């Protein structure tokens, strides 16, 4: 058995546990907007339910980071996975809005712990020169839970019903719980990032800005307005080789592509290890900005689709770069970075719809996102990597 087999196994285990925890949550995003009437919910309640878990994380991310200093991360991860998995059953068995709201808030807290401990497990088991690759494995495997929840959850809902699907997802999530603490308890590498130094390090402000931009543009601004953009440009949908694709279907396919690009996360991680975070972050932000500019000037659907696909590929690469940078700074920096990203994903939709409400042409949404990416690219190239790398040299 190779020397690195235990670290790799730990990363795979915690990634699979994380992926299974996302099944029910991601199914709600795919199903609830069209099924809420059968549950007796109002449209505004759907918005609250799908955003409550993100809003609470602005506080719970820091709670999770501090809790890991007081209690064993493996125990906290197991508890979070158990509660998170059980909440799938709550979604399926109870239709009362207050119960569902409480479950969504509790899930947001659980996800703070799962993500915090998952990322630190990767950092603890990865050598510095392979951190990007290992973080790529974590992101790629974890994102399989999002894809399964979106696609399999929607298909199973149509075949066997809402409640039955969520109960199956609850069982699947609970079966994978032991993998989380098992990963935390596996032997770790001799880390070249001493935790006692980095846990007290102040989060790099440039990293927080780039995290905010990453969350606000990809997860917020574009994801929330893409349907409106397509409806404006192609209100009757498109005809693809004799198959008619409506606006909703085309939007869904494009949005799901962001999860599919994450499956290439290990390749993005390898690029970080080879060329360094400064270069890769700058390239991904700049190319992503160019993709959004092309999307804004594309007259046809084909150009729009290709531009959006290119953007989401860059967004996936950016996510791995920023995850790796945050991880190299220790648990406190991770907590602050993911909070900045969560804040961006909460602000982005509101910004996009304010732009549309103001009567700005739909291509203005893409241009605003491109402007954000340009700023982040400049900041990434000039500040983030140099700050972190200089800190690492001091520690060594």
Q: Report the DSSP pairing between strands 243-245 and 238-240.
A: antiparallel
Pick the residue with more confidence: 160 or 391? 160
Q: Which residues pair with 243 in a beta bridge?
A: 240
Average pLDDT over residues 100-128: 93
Q: What is the pTM of this model?
A: 0.81
What's the mean per-residue pLDDT of the chain?
A: 83
pLDDT tens by residue, 221-255? 877 677 677 777 666 666 655 556 565 566 666 76
pLDDT tens by residue, 128-183? 777 888 998 998 899 888 888 877 888 888 889 999 999 999 999 999 999 999 99
Is the pLDDT confidence value at 187 over 70?
Answer: no
Residue ranges of domains in the chain, CATH in brackets: 5-192 (1.20.1250.20), 205-395 (1.20.1250.20)
Is the pLDDT confidence value at 12 over 70?
Answer: yes
Average pLDDT over residues 26-34: 82
Is the pLDDT confidence value at 291 over 90?
Answer: yes
Average pLDDT over residues 39-53: 86
Orientation of helix 301-328 relative to helix 131-147, angle to 10°: 130
Q: How far apart, in whole angstroms, are the C-alpha atoms of residue 236 and residue 287?
A: 31
Model confidence at 1, pLDDT cuts 50, 70, 90, reads very low
Judge whether 18 and 119 are in contact, CB under 8 Å. no
């Amino acid at each position: 058995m190779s020397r690195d087999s235990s670290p790799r196994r730990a990363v795979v285990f915690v990634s699979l546990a994380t992926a299974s925890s996302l099944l029910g949550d991601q199914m709600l995003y795919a199903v609830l907007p069209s099924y809420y009437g059968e549950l007796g919910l109002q449209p505004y309640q759907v918005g609250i339910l799908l955003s409550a878990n993100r809003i609470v994380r602005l506080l719970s991310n820091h709670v999770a980071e501090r809790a890991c200093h007081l209690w064993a991360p493996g125990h906290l991860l197991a508890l979070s996975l158990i509660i998170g998995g059980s909440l799938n059953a709550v979604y399926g068995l109870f239709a009362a809005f207050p119960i569902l709201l409480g479950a969504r808030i509790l899930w947001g807290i659980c996800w703070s712990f799962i993500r915090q401990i998952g990322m630190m497990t990767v950092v603890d088991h990865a050598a510095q020169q392979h951190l990007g690759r290992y973080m790529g494995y974590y992101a790629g495997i974890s994102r399989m839970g999002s894809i399964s929840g979106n696609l399999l959850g929607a298909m199973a809902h149509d075949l066997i019903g809402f409640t039955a699907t969520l109960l199956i997802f609850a069982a699947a999530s609970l079966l994978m719980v032991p993998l989380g603490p098992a990963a935390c308890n596996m032997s770790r590498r001799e880390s070249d990032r001493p935790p006692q130094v980095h846990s007290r390090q102040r989060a790099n402000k440039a990293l927080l800005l780039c995290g905010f931009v990453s969350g606000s543009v990809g997860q917020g601004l574009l994801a929330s307005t893409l349907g409106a953009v397509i409806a404006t440009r192609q209100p009757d949908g498109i005809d693809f080789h004799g198959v008619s694709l409506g606006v909703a279907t085309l939007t869904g396919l494009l949005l799901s592509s962001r999860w599919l690009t994450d499956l290439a996360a290990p390749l993005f991680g390898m690029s970080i290890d080879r060329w360094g975070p400064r270069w890769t972050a700058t390239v991904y932000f700049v190319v992503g900005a160019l993709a959004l500019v092309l999307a804004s000037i594309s007259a046809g659907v084909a150009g729009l689709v290709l531009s959006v696909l290119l953007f989401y590929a860059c967004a996936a690469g950016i996510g791995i770069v920023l995850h790796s940078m945050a991880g190299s700074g220790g648990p406190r920096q991770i907590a602050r970075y993911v909070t900045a990203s969560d804040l961006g994903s909460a602000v982005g939709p509101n910004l996009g719809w304010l732009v549309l409400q103001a009567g700005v042409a739909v291509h203005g949404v893409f241009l605003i996102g491109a402007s954000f990416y340009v700023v982040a690219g400049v900041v990434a190239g000039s500040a983030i990597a140099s700050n972190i790398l200089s800190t690492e040299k001091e520690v060594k």
